[in-house]
Chain A
Amino acid sequence: MKQLFYKEAVRDALREEMLRDERVFLIGLDIGRFGGTYKATQGLWEEFGGERVRDTPLSEAAIAGAAVGAAMTGLRPVAEIMYNDFLTIAMDQVANQAAKLRYMSGGQATIPVVFRTQEGAGRSSAAQHAQSLEAWVAHIPGLKVALPSTPYDAKGLLKTAIRDDTPVVFFEHKLLYNTKGEVPEEEYLIPFGQAKVCREGTGVTIVALSRMVSRALEAAETLAAEGVSVEVVDPRTVVPLDIDTILESVKKTGQLIVTHEGYTRCGIGAEIATQVMEKGLYYLEKPVRRVCGLNVPVPFAPVLENRVIPSTPALIQAVKEMVQ
């Protein structure tokens, strides 16, 4: 085991897969010489050269589309969309092309592309650089969606994503890049559709995505001291979603809070809550509660940003209200 930064775990996953399979290559803005905006690709251009680590013009539609075309013709591209907010510009290629060409062709096309991007608020990046948009792509059949919350998950999930023949949208979090965690020395992969119970508990289940996992764990720690036992579940992949692990937890606790930074309205929390209602209504003692991004654009001022993005105190408050 070694301690790695999340950004290093991402880089190691990319590096290992590029060494393992010469068809894997990287394409995106400033990923080469600059090492990536958040340094997740640092050192890869120096090691693999410009043929396999390709800096592009500022053209998300071309980046995504070229990745689709290359994936359909024998290569395994990992395309970076620098901020998930810019998925908008790439969206046709992601949602109408990558996700659908296999189906529309009656199964002829295989499109092993990974779209790596990052999401999240917390450093005053303002409304166009702070969103969490996994709900947009989770909605589209034909895409898999992963959100690692730790270096361990980032590496294992990214390797799986690269080896998967389905298009994957991989959401890293900008404030997780410099967090550290334990990562095995030996090779490992994490399958999609396998949630992780990050902390066991008996009183309340918190299902958390991405950076909200660490906040949920902080809240659980504080609440434990006050006699409330919280179980924290990280789905790790939204598509496919491991609803069984979530249901098992809800069956035990009877009380569910779902938390993510993405806007509350039509966010992943809505999907999880509905699936729990559909398959485990009678496990629930109370309505499901969502502690998610408020339905406003993310503001710049720290005091405003902290109001709209769910915080550890907000989670603690929500749990306390639930157990009253």
Chain B
Amino acid sequence: MQHSEPGVTVAEQQYLPTIDVMKAIHLTMVKIRCFEERAVELFMAQELPGFLHSYLGQEAVAAGACACLREDDYITSTHRGHGHIIAKGLRLDRMMAELFAKTTGYCKGKGGSMHITDFSRGVLGANGVVAAGVPIATGAALSAKMRKSGQVVVCFFGDGASNQGAFYEAANLGAVWSLPVIYVCENNLYAVSTHQSRHQKVKDISTRAVAFGFPGISVDGNDPITVYQAVAPAVHRARQGGGPTLVECKTYRWLGHYVGDPASYRPSEEVAEWKAKDPVPRYERFLEEQGVMSAAEMVSVHEQVKKEIDAAVEFARRSPSPQPEDALQDVEP
């Protein structure tokens, strides 16, 4: 990454993250990495019911994209959403408690991994129906525009979702009404077990933006600064009334679709190739080279995060389980 080199265009330079933002991005990525690693461990030890769709490997997308947002901006998340919500500032302990199905979880144990959300922090749900968050994000953008609040919405979805009818309908609506929404596609090359080359003709999903009439860009999703530099101008454009952008972030998930999926549909050389581009150590090398953080500082961050996660697990284990009759609450206001 070359921020201080000559030849960087004015547009890029406008959207350089500050040192503080770069450090915050690092902290976010370490939190996501460690949280997800621990969640996988706990799941394999059968302490967590249900399913887990791990965000391991995709940390740079959530961290880079959410670093562009105000606290009152919105996001919509997905079944593979732990990374998004950590990046939006949700607490690890209440997230962990939700995974453990405890009443202290964000959703009182009624949602689980796929649905962890905090509406008070602008997370408009994490959806288990692929692409269902796209119309919702578009509606939240409509609301922001009608209320003149200046808020924007970042909508996360994957390559699989980019084939859903709801995606087209919503993006088209976002376009024709110039809504303040940024559609961030995390292309991890697989929709469950189906490689992208078998589920769509295009390689760059960003090209579909032409069909709607707004800009699209494809970037290296494993570099959080690149993601930031693509999402920040899109956020700015949206806030100024310029309408949507489609930002496709090329990335890869370490694990199968769900934890426990051996993912034998992926060639081992491909997995190895992507793991060699691990976004976390890659970003840490960059931070050290650029003099943003020292190795010692980064180690300290890892230690702090580990403590926080240990505490989160303790909190979750100690928290009460819901009573059976709690199942009848929260259907209606």
Contact = CB atoms under 8 A, between A and B. Distances in A.
Interface of A: 25, 51, 54, 56-57, 59-62, 64-75, 77, 89, 92-93, 96-97, 101-110, 141-142, 165-166
A62 B125 contact: no
Given A25-B146, A106-B330, A62 B136 contact: no
7 contacts: A57-B176, A65-B132, A66-B139, A69-B136, A69-B139, A72-B124, A141-B331
Contact of A62 (B111, B118, B173): B173
Contacts of B172: 57, 59, 62
Contacts of B331: 102-103, 141-142
A73 B332 CA distance: 17
A75 B143 CA distance: 7
Contact of B140 (A56, A64, A70): A70
Best-buried of A62, A69, A104 by chain B (most CB within 10 Å) = A69
A66 B137 CA distance: 7
Counting from the closest, the 4 A-B pairs by CB-CB distance are: A65-B135, A69-B139, A106-B108, A66-B139
Nearest to B110: A106
A106 B105 contact: yes
Given A73-B144, A165-B332, 20 more contacts: A57-B169, A65-B136, A65-B169, A66-B136, A68-B139, A69-B124, A69-B139, A71-B139, A73-B140, A75-B146, A92-B166, A93-B136, A101-B125, A105-B119, A107-B108, A108-B118, A109-B119, A141-B331, A142-B331, A142-B332
Best-buried of B111, B169, B329 by chain A (most CB within 10 Å) = B169
- For chain B, give the interface size range: 35 or more
B165 interface: yes
A62 B140 contact: no
Contacts of B165: 61, 89
B111 to A, nearest CB: 4
B120 interface: yes
A97 B132 contact: yes
A107 B329 contact: yes
Nearest to A77: B139
A95 to B, nearest CB: 10
B139 A65 contact: yes
B142 A69 contact: yes
Best-buried of B106, B144, B170 by chain A (most CB within 10 Å) = B170
B74 interface: yes
A141 B107 CA distance: 18
Interface string B158-175: 000000011011101100
B138 interface: yes
Given A96-B132, A102-B332, A72 B119 contact: yes
Contacts of A108: 106-107, 117-120
A143 to B, nearest CB: 10
A68 B135 contact: yes
A105 B143 contact: no
Contacts of A61: 135, 165-166, 169-170
B169 A74 contact: no
A104 B332 contact: no
A68 B136 contact: yes
Interface string B70-85: 0000101000000000
Contact of B115 (A67, A70, A75, A105): A105
A312 B119 CA distance: 51
Best-buried of A73, A92, A101, A110 by chain B (most CB within 10 Å) = A73
A96 B332 contact: no
A72 B134 CA distance: 14
A75 to B, nearest CB: 5
B129 interface: yes
Contacts of A70: 139-140, 142-143, 146
Contacts of A74: 143, 147
A97 B129 contact: yes
A66 B333 contact: no
Nearest to A240: B332
